[in-house]
């Protein structure tokens, strides 16, 4: 397998985070629905669909890097699967069997902040590398990630407002 550049590795990371986001939004949507928060669940389904599109577009871009094409794309996607696995481990630790929708939104807030950070780093690396495909992908995805972060934070706050602060946890 071809050795990846920092740019290619970062692309793999954002693809992996998009993969993980699909699982996370499904899980948290189930928690929200279970508690009667259908509006938040609908919002999460949209976020999941956008994560699927980010994965698809990122994977397409991975195939455009020069070198041994299949080897580069395979390496990028291997990195993506590694990141997805790490994120899944974090999610299963944070969202245990006792997790509720608020726990889910708090987890998503952390995850979305990570995605904004990773996409911002990819943007800077893409600018330095002058890679037009990366620039185009980031211009499309970074605003979506920033919106996801705002929505996750807003969901956390909405759910926290419904909590009784005096109730035993």
**Domain assignment of residue 74, yes or no:** yes
Provide the mean pLDDT of the chain: 94
Q: What is the mean pLDDT of residues 96-113?
A: 96
**Domain assignment of residue 75, yes or no:** yes
Q: Considering the entire predicted model, what is its pTM? A: 0.93
Q: What is the CATH number of the domain that holds 41?
A: 1.20.1260.10
How many domains would you assign to the chain? 1
CA angle 85, 91, 93 (to 5 degrees): 105
pLDDT band at 114 (very low <50, low <70, confident <90, very high): very high
**Domain assignment of residue 129, yes or no:** yes
Above pLDDT 70, what percent of the chain?
Answer: 96
**Domain assignment of residue 157, yes or no:** yes
**Domain assignment of residue 104, yes or no:** yes
Which burial class, exposed, middle or buried, applies to 37 when counting CB atoms under 10 A from its CB (0-12, 13-18, 19+)?
buried
Q: What is the mean pLDDT of residues 66-86?
A: 87
**Domain assignment of residue 166, yes or no:** no
Q: What kind and span of H or E run contains 102?
A: helix 101-129
**Domain assignment of residue 24, yes or no:** yes
Q: What is the mean pLDDT of residues 48-61?
A: 98
**Domain assignment of residue 53, yes or no:** yes
DSSP three-state, residue 4: coil
Which domain does 70 fall in, by range? 6-161
Q: Is the pLDDT of residue 69 over 60?
A: no
DSSP three-state, residue 105: helix
So what's the pLDDT on residue 2?
A: 64
């Amino acid at each position: 397998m071809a050795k990846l550049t920092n740019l290619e590795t970062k692309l793999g990371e954002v693809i992996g985070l998009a993969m993980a986001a699909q699982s996370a939004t499904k899980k948290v949507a189930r928690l929200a629905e279970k508690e009667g928060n259908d509006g938040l669940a609908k919002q999460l389904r949209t976020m999941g669909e956008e994560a699927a599109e980010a994965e698809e577009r990122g994977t397409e871009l991975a195939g455009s890097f020069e070198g041994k094409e299949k080897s580069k794309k395979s390496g990028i996607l291997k990195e993506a699967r590694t990141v997805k696995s790490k994120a899944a481990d974090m999610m299963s630790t944070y969202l245990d069997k006792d997790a509720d929708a608020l726990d889910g939104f708090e987890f998503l807030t952390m995850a979305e902040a990570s995605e904004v950070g990773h996409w911002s780093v990819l943007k800077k690396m893409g600018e330095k590398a002058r890679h037009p495909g990366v620039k185009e992908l980031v211009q499309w995805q970074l605003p979506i990630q920033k919106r996801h972060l705002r929505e996750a934070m807003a969901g956390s706050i909405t759910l926290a407002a419904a909590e009784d602060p005096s109730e035993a946890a």
